[in-house]
Amino acid sequence: MRAGSIFYFFREAFKSLSRNKLLSFATISTISVCILIIGIAVLITLNTGNFITQLESDVEIVAYMDKDLTSESVTDIGEQIKEIQGVKAINFVPRDDALKKLQKNIGGKEYDLKATLGKNPLPDTYEIKASNPHDVASIAGEVGKISGVYKVNYGKGFVEKLFNATRWIRIISLVFIALLVLGAIFLIATTIRLAIFARRKEIYLMKLIGSTDWFIRWPFIIEGILLGVLGAVVSIAILLAAYSSLLNNIETMSFLPLITSSSILRNFYLSLLAAGGVLGVLGTFISINRFLDV
């Protein structure tokens, strides 16, 4: 493609934008609304996924030791647990520390559990984290086979239901976003078609003098990219202001683990900008092909 042709394509695209201000504004508004809706859906999905990941990562295995084990035997069991494939980290909790924690959580200052019980009935335990939370069941099975471990607990039943629920939430979120994208393409294509319809005579004349389909397409495609990017910029500005305000207002609520990573958010906004350009191109390409069949 010659430099002169490229210059011509861009010149025609900018001319069209300036000549059809109202239609351009309508297209930019449509794209910005579509990108905004998609952006909100993706942000909700990302934060939901972040919450689910944190919820899954909190799943741990607790291995209870036999009470008559020596300290050497308990240490040896810890070494055997570390060697199990998929174990990320283990934390040894002595029985005295476990009683202190129980005292703090239940007894408080008014009630002395140790004095009431007479002796510490709690065993030494190992708290085990898995590299992949979905491996907790198999790791728990391996830990339970170790001699000296009399019981293993990881919330069997509840954990399986949790993972099943989170899997369906992820699937539904992806399907919902895909449907939003398809709806956005259709809506943007319809809006751009109106703009191209106003220039159908120009396209017809260019076809009559022998212009190729791609020679006619390129100014419209460049125009579609510009409209898409401008629409995306508007939606990104709205999302950036709204999400920043949301983070500032709930920063003290630790139970809402919203995404705050600047790199993740930056990539998200850049993706929306690219999506705006892609939607503009798709909408233009779908719409203009109809008017090239003359």
Give the tens place of pLDDT for each residue, 63-86.
999 888 888 898 899 999 999 999
The beta-strand segments (E) located in 44-124 are 61-65, 87-93
pLDDT digits (tens, 9 = 90+) for 88-126: 989 998 887 877 777 676 655 555 655 555 577 788 899
pLDDT digits (tens, 9 = 90+) for 11-55: 877 877 777 788 788 888 888 888 898 889 888 888 888 888 887
Q: Is the pLDDT of residue 292 over 70?
A: no
By percentage, how much of the chain surpasses pLDDT 90?
16
Q: Which fold has domain 60-154?
A: Alpha-Beta Plaits (3.30.70)
Beta bridge partners of 83: none
What's the average model confidence in pLDDT over 219-239? Answer: 89
Domain range annotation of the chain: 3-55+161-292, 60-154
Q: Is the pLDDT of residue 265 over 80?
A: yes
Angle (nearest 5°) at CA 159 between 153 and 165: 175
pLDDT digits (tens, 9 = 90+) for 172-198: 888 988 888 888 888 777 777 777 777
Token pair listed for 261? 């990573």
Name the region of 210 (left: φ>0; alpha: ψ -120 to 50; beta: rest): left
The answer to whether the beta carbons of residues 120 and 75 sit under 8 Å apart is: no
What's the average model confidence in pLDDT over 273-285? Answer: 86
pLDDT digits (tens, 9 = 90+) for 130-155: 888 888 888 999 999 998 998 898 87
Burial of 193 (0-12, 13-18, 19+ CB in 10 A): middle
Average pLDDT, the chain: 82
Only one residue has tokens 């983070």, namely 247
CA atoms within 13 A on the CB side of 33: 10
